[in-house]
Amino acid sequence: MKKILYIVLDGLGGRPEASLDYKTTLEAAYTPYMDSLAKKGQLGLMDPISEGIAPESDAAVLSILGYDVDKYYTGRGPLEAHGSDIKVRDGDLAWRANFATVDEDTLKILDRRAGRNLTTEEAKALAEEVNSKVKLEGADFIFKATVGHRGVLVIRKKDGKLSANVENIDPGYKRHGPYSIAISNPPVEVQKCIPLDESLEAEESARLTNEFVMKAFEILKNSEINKRRREEGKKPANIILLRDAGDSLPKIPTLKELYGLSFGSIVEMPVERGIALLTGMKEVPIEDSTNYKLWADKVLEALKEFDGVYAHLKGPDVPGHDGLVDGKKDSIEKIDAEFFSNLLPYLDFSKVVVAVTADHSTPCSLKAHSEDPVPLMIVTSGHQWDGSEYFGESSCAKGKLGRIKGKDLLPLLVEIARK
């Protein structure tokens, strides 16, 4: 059978932008290598979870790897923790965390990401201070800074379990079952964690979370690192916003169990790493994730070792969130010029099935993930060209693959690879 190469460009999908003559960033970007794939493959659109849902990356990735999220998803926190090498037991409370900036008198949020210039080193030093100085009543915790302003918190009760059925303290997101939905015009104050049911476990979760947030705030606002940031004219990272609690890891069958195939994964962010590890994919580490030629080299190497390779490049999502049309277009062009250019000449399409798609759309005009379906193309020899001339949302809308659901893509790739 053929090998499978599954490439996901985070947040690739977009909407027509006025400043680009009503093209999307992908359509406006100069992408000769991706277009060369479109000129021999089949295109389509994919709803990462299902029509009308604007997913977060974690649920989206689980879904596009073939898992039914309604059945398996347990919240983002446990996946982030798992991908950050923190063990999550059933009954632990795991949160996705963000360093942010608040007004120290009113707790009004001034910047959701502490200016987006908190270095990983600064964040790690702040986390160390929080871990050594904060003590919780009746529980232990691990707080870990991951990448930039991002982090993860796991609280473990000394006796008994905790429940994730609690509201976010991050006002930007509201709980909806195990999911969080980004809300427009959110309240500006840090919210108190409140239990969403009357169980003792949820009550304890809320109490411990509030205790952690306020004790961490006291430590952070007086930290030397934040004093220095204020002196440098930067925003202090003086609060930890928490969202997306979960109290267990998803219990999913591995890809090996499902398809009998071995997979390697090349991913960048903890949450994607957490999912990749859970699915049983072997991690192919990437020393410098800003070097796209290295990504291409790693993919080619991994294709020799595994039946399938999953590569998840973060690039276009961040400028999408920041509303930077040119930034997102540049990021797509860079991936084409440095990743695909170094990859495509070395692929033998009689031996590999290549899929290129996204985990969700992040339109610049929205500065958030949207429910728009994502562009998709599948290329391999013997899989007849559908007449597409370029890789973009409008060509994908006319492509032969039609409109599929995220969880059906991997089974489809396996089927094509077996032909």
Which residues in this chain contact Zn ion in the complex, by CB under 5 A? 10, 57, 317, 359
Nearest CB to Zn ion, comparing residues 167 and 359? 359
Q: Are 144 and 84 within 8 A, CB to CB?
A: yes
Nearest approach, Cβ of residue 359 and Zn ion (Å): 4
Q: Are 378 and 36 within 8 A, CB to CB?
A: no
Amino acid at 394: S
Token output for 57: 């990356």
Nearest approach, Cβ of residue 11 and Zn ion (Å): 5
Alpha-carbon torsion angle 239, 243, 245, 250, nearest 10: -130
Nearest approach, Cβ of residue 366 and Zn ion (Å): 11
Q: Tell me the chain's radius of gyration from C-alpha atoms.
A: 22
CA torsion through residues 225, 231, 234, 238, sign? positive
Please count the residues of the chain: 419
Q: Which residue, 101, 90, 57, 105, is CA-closest to 271? A: 57
Nearest CB to Zn ion, comparing residues 245 and 366? 366
The residue with its CB nearest to Zn ion is: 57
Nearest CB to Zn ion, comparing residues 101 and 370? 370
Nearest CB to Zn ion, comparing residues 367 and 400? 367
User: 378-395 b/e with 16+ CB inside 10 Å = b?
Assistant: bbbeebeebebebbbbeb
CA torsion through residues 209, 215, 220, 224, sign? negative
Nearest approach, Cβ of residue 197 and Zn ion (Å): 29
For 212, list phi and psi in degrees, rounded to 5.
-60, -50
User: According to DSSP H, which parts of 262-324 are helical?
Assistant: 270-278, 292-305, 317-321
How far is residue 278's CA from residue 362's CA, in Å, rounded to a whole number?
A: 26
Nearest approach, Cβ of residue 271 and Zn ion (Å): 9
Nearest approach, Cβ of residue 154 and Zn ion (Å): 22
Nearest CB to Zn ion, comparing residues 35 and 359? 359
Q: Are 95 and 153 within 8 A, CB to CB?
A: yes
Nearest approach, Cβ of residue 61 and Zn ion (Å): 7
Nearest approach, Cβ of residue 286 and Zn ion (Å): 17
Q: Are 13 and 373 within 8 A, CB to CB?
A: yes
Nearest CB to Zn ion, comparing residues 307 and 359? 359
For 335, list phi and psi in degrees, rounded to 5.
-65, -40
How far is residue 117's CA from residue 148's CA, in Å, rounded to a whole number?
A: 7
Nearest CB to Zn ion, comparing residues 11 and 236? 11
Nearest CB to Zn ion, comparing residues 48 and 66? 48
Nearest approach, Cβ of residue 49 and Zn ion (Å): 12
Nearest CB to Zn ion, comparing residues 64 and 414? 64
For 190, list phi and psi in degrees, rounded to 5.
-60, 130
